[in-house]
Amino acid sequence: MNPPEAARRRLGPEEDTMTNRRSMIYAKFEVFEEQLAHCYFMLHERFIANPPLAKFWAETAMDELQHYSILRFCRERGMIAEADVDFRTIERVEELLETVKGIVSDPEVSINEAFYASLLMESSESEDIYEKLTAVLARDHRLLYDAILASFRAHHAALAGAAEEFCSDRGIAEAFRNLGRRLS
C-alpha cells in the first residue's frame, strides 16, 4: 500500500473527500505547470535564431518542469497541504493559460509579446498556489523545501534579467523586477 492510500484508510469519509479534492488540486496544477513549460519550449523554438534568448526560454521551461515534478512528488507521497483553492481560482488560472497558449502559438510572436505572456502566468495566482502547495515540504523535507525556494527566487530573477536584456518595453522589465521583489 503506498503512503497516500495508507493515509486515506485512516481517514473518515469527510476527510477522505477533502484529501481527494486536495489531491485533484495538485494534479490540476501539475498540468498547468507542464503546459506552461510547453509554452516556454515553443518560445525557445520560436527564437532559436537568437541563441541567448532561446537558451533563456529553454531554461525557463525546465524550471516549470521542475515545478510540475515537485507537485507530483508531493501528491504521490500524500504530502498534501491544507491549502484550499476555490474552483473559480482554478478556472481563472486555466483561462489565463489558454490566453498564454494563444499568444505563444503565433509563429510571429514578438519578444515583447512573449515576455508579456510569461508575465501573465508568472504574476498570476498560480505562483502563490504553487508556494502554498509546496510549503508542506518545510516540515519533513527542509533541504528540499529550501532548494525549492532558492530555485523559485532564481527563476524570477532570471525572468527579470532576461526581460531587461531582451525586451524593448521597459514596462515589462519593470513588472518582472517588481514581481521578483514581491516574491523575495
Whole-number pLDDT of residue 5: 52
pLDDT, averaged in runs of 10, over the chain (184 residues): 50 63 93 98 98 98 97 95 88 97 97 97 91 94 95 91 95 87 65
3-state secondary structure the chain: CCHHHHHHHCCCHHHHHHHHHHHHHHHHHHHHHHHHHHHHHHHHHHCCCCHHHHHHHHHHHHHHHHHHHHHHHHHHCCCCCCCCCCHHHHHHHHHHHHHHHHHHCCCCCCHHHHHHHHHHHHCCHHHHHHHHHHCCHHHHCHHHHHHHHHHHHHHHHHHHHHHHHHCCCHHHHHHHHHHHHHHC
